């Protein structure tokens, strides 16, 4: 049974087959918990964090007698292409969000005179590092094993809750963490499932965060190129409208991904 066919199957795996994947996912999450239960500032500046997490993932895969390619951790042009496609796809998605938000809000969208290209590049590099760590923890080995043990949607729910806990440890209000990160976790998880690739999920995660900072921050920061100029505080209605546009388009992208996964599985079954 393929990874995709297993996640699409509505039947729960037998008890004997589900226990080992779930416990291995739990052990992986427990081993990496000093990272995701601590604020990002604790490990962000340490260059060995990412290498250590890649090594941990490969170690667990070796324990399973599986290659790194099972979750996209093999060096190849294909993986580089998946990273680039993830970056491009998410950039287009957030650009569409910004365009719709610009039509909804009454504020002018102007270039930020404080924009600093060097800081924007450094911001991208920082996101590439930090989001790679996050994807390896939440959408790599652990999600793949949870899907094998308890099914796709239960695995997505567990991952989304842990992802929200991580953001709360980084100072996010619990309401924002539960709503905002849950939808993001669903998107990144579906990307991982569609391509069996951590690099693809990393690309989407990085571009979504970077493009948000580039186009949607108010007040704008030095890494913001264009943004809404608001001479007054946003009203609750404007905040809700912006949130609905953001979440709505991301959920639309999730639906497209889910249909793509089903279509791919149907073609595989037909062959």
Q: What is the chain's Cα-based Rg?
A: 19
Let me know if residue 5 belongs to a domain.
no
SS3 105: coil
Let me know if residue 204 belongs to a domain.
yes
Question: What's the pLDDT at 17?
Answer: 42
What residues pair up with 109 in beta bridges, in sequence order? 228
SS3 111: strand
Let me know if residue 8 belongs to a domain.
no
- CB burial of residue 46 (10 Å; 0-12, 13-18, 19+): exposed
Kindly tell me if the per-residue pLDDT of 131 is higher than 60: yes
Lowest mean pLDDT among 30-39, 52-61, 74-83, 94-103: 30-39
Let me know if residue 13 belongs to a domain.
no
Question: What's the pLDDT at 8?
Answer: 47
pLDDT grade, residue 45 (50/70/90)? low
Average pLDDT over residues 81-98: 96
Kindly tell me if the per-residue pLDDT of 133 is higher than 90: yes
For residue range 90-122, what is the model confidence (pLDDT) as tens digits?
999 999 999 999 998 888 888 999 999 999 999
For the chain, give the percent of residues with pLDDT over 90: 64
The Cα 118–Cα 125 span in angstroms is 11
Domain of residue 113 covers: 18-266
* Global pTM value: 0.90
Q: Which one is predicted more confidently, 106 or 269?
A: 106
Contact indicator for 238, 105 with CB cutoff of 8 Å: yes
Burial 99-126 (b: 16+ CB within 10 A, else e): ebbbeebebebeebeebeeeebeebbeb
Let me know if residue 9 belongs to a domain.
no
For the chain, the domain total comes to: 1
Kindly tell me if the per-residue pLDDT of 183 is higher than 50: yes
Contact indicator for 28, 63 with CB cutoff of 8 Å: no
Let me know if residue 271 belongs to a domain.
no
Mean pLDDT, the chain, integer: 88
Question: In sequence order, which ranges of the chain are alpha helices (DSSP H)?
Answer: 3-8, 15-31, 33-36, 40-43, 48-63, 77-104, 117-138, 141-150, 152-169, 174-195, 198-215, 236-270
Question: What is the DSSP code string of 11-52?
Answer: SPPPHHHHHHHHHHHHHHHHHTHHHHTS-HHHHTT-THHHHH
H or E element that contains 110: strand 109-111
Let me know if residue 112 belongs to a domain.
yes
Kindly tell me if the per-residue pLDDT of 15 is higher than 70: no
Average pLDDT over residues 247-261: 95
Let me know if residue 12 belongs to a domain.
no
């Amino acid at each position: 049974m393929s990874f995709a066919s297993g996640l699409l199957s509505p039947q729960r795996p037998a008890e004997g087959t589900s226990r080992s994947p779930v416990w291995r996912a739990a052990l992986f999450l427990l081993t990496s918990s000093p990272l995701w239960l601590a604020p990002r500032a604790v490990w962000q500046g340490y260059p060995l964090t990412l290498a250590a997490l890649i090594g941990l993932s490969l170690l667990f895969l070796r324990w399973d007698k599986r290659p790194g390619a099972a979750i996209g951790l093999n060096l190849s042009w294909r993986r580089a292409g998946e990273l680039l496609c993830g970056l491009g796809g998410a950039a287009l998605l957030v650009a569409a969000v910004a365009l719709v938000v610009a039509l909804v809000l009454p504020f002018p969208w102007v270039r930020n005179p404080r924009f600093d290209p060097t800081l924007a590049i450094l911001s991208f590099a920082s996101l590439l590092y930090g989001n790679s760590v996050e994807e390896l923890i939440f959408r790599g080995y652990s999600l793949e094993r949870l899907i094998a043990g308890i099914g796709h949607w239960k695995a997505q729910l567990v991952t989304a809750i842990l992802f929200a806990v991580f953001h709360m440890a980084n100072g996010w209000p619990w309401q924002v963490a539960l709503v905002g990160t849950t939808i993001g976790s669903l998107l990144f998880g579906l990307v991982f499932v569609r391509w069996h690739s951590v690099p693809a999920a990393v690309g989407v995660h990085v571009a979504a965060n970077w493009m948000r900072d580039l186009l949607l921050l108010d007040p704008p920061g030095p890494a913001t190129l264009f943004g809404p100029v608001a001479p007054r505080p946003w009203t609750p209605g404007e905040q809700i409208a912006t949130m609905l546009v953001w979440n709505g388009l991301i959920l639309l992208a999730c639906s497209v991904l889910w249909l793509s996964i089903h279509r791919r599985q149907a073609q595989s079954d037909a062959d």
